[in-house]
Amino acid sequence: MRLGNKKWLSILVAFLVLNLFWWIGSTILQLPILPSPWQVYQHLLLQENHEMSFHIYNSFVRLFWGIFLAVIIGTPIGLLMGRFPKVNDYLDPVVYLTYPIPKIALLPIIMLLFGLGDMSKIILITLIVVFQVILSVRDGVKTIPERYYENYQVLGASEWQMFQDITLPNALASVLNAIRIALGTAIAILFFTEVYGTQYGLGYFIMDAWSRLDYLDMYSGIIVLSLCSFMLFILIDKLESNLLKWRKYS
């Protein structure tokens, strides 16, 4: 999806409406736990850029490696399952048996095995996102009509050419869709894991502000985390428009 003028206008309107409801709520309640948006934005502008940037950097590093590893692991598995029915017959029960397990419940075990640092956070994000990548790629490849391969083979295309020109573009579209869907979940898991064993990251910043009853800091962290999430969605849309030029965008 290309973010044209109408799309940006819709985003701006939605932003203003959300802030309007926020302002109405803060005006009615008149409580410290719900400051007005203007107070939060003013406080955010007065934040030390170095400190906030460091929290953002640490969160992005964990999020990037978690999603990157999920894509590297999940994409080839999804390709094999989608392209070869026998492989799907073997792996499908394994995927469906392990996918419903609430991975967040494994956090204590992961921390015992890999410590309280970045590794445990990255592994948990990977475990959650990888199944969405596998299933999305597999289903995307399975929807490719077999006649596409047959017609291309008649023209003398090799297996690699069919993979490169037919399978891979559909798989890439599925990967980007999976990342877009999983991003919200991954950020929520990142927020949860950053409460444990770290002093850096947006999740830690928000919860630390909450424990200190510093509501302006807390809401500033929420705003920054939301903005970062929004920018990641925009980045995925940009990648999709550049890598998948054969698709039509609204």
Residue 143's pLDDT is 83
Question: What is the per-residue pLDDT for 4?
Answer: 61
Q: How far is CA 140 from CA 20, 82, 98, 135, 248, in A?
A: 41, 8, 21, 8, 17
Closest CA to 139 of 106, 98, 95, 108: 95
DSSP code at position 115: -
How far is Cα 90 from Cα 80, in angstroms, rounded to an integer? 11
pLDDT at 247: 58
In a domain, 32, yes or no: no
Q: Is residue 3 part of a domain?
A: no
Question: Residue 220: inside a domain, yes or no?
Answer: yes
User: In CATH, what number is assigned to the domain containing residue 56?
Assistant: 1.10.3720.10
Q: What is the pLDDT of residues 129-177, one digit of tens each?
A: 899 889 888 988 888 888 888 888 888 777 778 888 888 877 788 888 8
CB 12 within 8 A of CB 19: no
The predicted structure's pLDDT at residue 245: 65
Residue 104 has a CB neighbour count (10 Å cut-off) of 13
Distance, in Å, from the CA atom of 55 to the CA atom of 210, rounded to the nearest integer, reads: 16
Q: How many CB atoms lie within 10 A of CB 79?
A: 23
Asked whether residue 17 is assigned to any structural domain, the reply reads no
Per-10-residue mean pLDDT of the chain, 250 residues long, equals 68 91 92 91 82 88 92 90 88 88 84 87 91 88 82 80 80 82 84 84 90 91 90 84 61
State residue 240's pLDDT score.
77
Specify the pLDDT at position 36: 92
Segments forming the whole domain that contains residue 55: 37-243
Residue 78 lies in a domain: yes
CA–CA distance, 143 with 32 (Å, rounded to integer) = 53
d(CA 58, CA 43): 22
Structural domain contains residue 10: no
Identify whether 117 is part of a domain.
yes
Domain count within the chain: 1
Predicted pLDDT of residue 69? 93
95 vs 93: CA distance, rounded Å:
6
pLDDT of amino acid 1: 43
Considering the domain boundaries, does residue 2 fall inside one?
Answer: no
